[in-house]
A and B are shown apart, each in its own frame.
Chain A
Amino acid sequence: MTMSHPTPDLSRTFAALADPTRRAILARLEREEKVSISALAEPFAIKLPAVMKHLDVLADAGLITRSKQGRTVDVRLFPKPLRQAAAWLERYERFWSPRLDRLTALAEKKEAEMHRKNK
């Protein structure tokens, strides 16, 4: 079993993902290849500086890249940390899932035994 805890980078990924605004930003970037900062900010009821702060957190976690195109800044998703985070969660899924399958088999066997006894 390799149940190692995430590296500090992974903790940073999860921390960045913990905020709904940042997740909404990522979800949009997942749909669209690149989005300008002003277009990213548009759906939110928060001011542009607040959006910029969220983008800083996402960039620090390595989840997005920003590139200047003339007077606009394009934001793109960088999916690798997300894949790493998902792979890490998957390890726990692989740990628990077969155990819960065995628990299910055990409980169903006991239920069947009890059924027989009561007949």
Chain B
Amino acid sequence: MTSLTLVRRIAARPSIVFDALTTAEGIAAWWGPDDGPVLAAQSDVRVGGDYLVRFRMQDGSEHEARGEYLEMVRPKRVVMSFRWAFGGAPEEIGNISRVEMELRAIGDETELTFTHANLVAASIPSASKPSHEQGWSVALDKLVLCLTGVDSQWIAASAGNEKASGT
């Protein structure tokens, strides 16, 4: 129900971006935190294939994310499930979120729309009927931004939320 969308314009063709996003070699190069190493990266690049990324933060804590590729259309679209295998908070155990990556060619470049959806486990109290709407409206993003003064990059990033609505 809750999603975050980030958009990047990349001066590289979609096939290069796609491989950087999905191959173990690519994942090992970009997935780590700023100051810590990626300890392990595996990726079985096909629908139904699994990926795994383990990394260490500067504070020494280790984290591992895992998931399965749900959709894969090279070089246009990847959808994968996402969960913290370890290193997440106790409340996080059992929540499976969803990462969608859309690649659009613009001339020789690529616009990457990266959405991390279903961030919050939908434990809606019985008081309200579950809503079928996914994602946030732009209006709400603006509301939240007004209230919090989140940086402008986020405003641009949030604009695609309705389109990338997840399931």
Contact A104 B10, beta carbon cutoff 8 Å: yes
> Given the known A-B contacts A5-B95, A20-B137, A23-B139, are A106 and B120 also in contact in the complex, defined by CB atoms under 8 Å?
no
Query: B121 — which chain A residues lie within 8 A by C-beta?
Result: 5, 11
Instruction: Say whether, besides A14-B2, A56-B127, A111 and B63 are in contact (CB < 8 Å).
Output: no
For the complex, count residues of A whose C-beta is within 8 A of B: 52
Asked whether A97 lies within 8 Å of B26 as measured between CB atoms, the reply is no
Contact size range, B: 35 or more
Given contacts A27-B143, A85-B144, A96-B6, whether A1 and B16 have CB atoms under 8 Å apart is no
Q: Please state if B34 and A98 are interface contacts (CB–CB under 8 Å).
A: yes
Q: Which applies to chain A's interface (DSSP): helix, strand, loop or mixed?
A: helix
Q: Are A83 and B148 in contact (CB under 8 A)?
A: yes
Given contacts A92-B116, A96-B6, contact A15 B139 (CB under 8 A): no
Query: Given A5-B89, A11-B120, A100-B114, 6 other A-B contacts at CB below 8 A?
Result: A3-B88, A4-B89, A4-B91, A23-B143, A87-B148, A108-B12
Residues of B within 8 A of A (CB): 1-2, 4, 6, 8, 10-13, 16-17, 20-21, 26, 29-34, 57, 61, 63, 84, 87-89, 91-92, 95, 110, 112, 114, 116, 119-125, 127-128, 131, 133, 136-137, 139-140, 142-148, 150, 153-154, 157
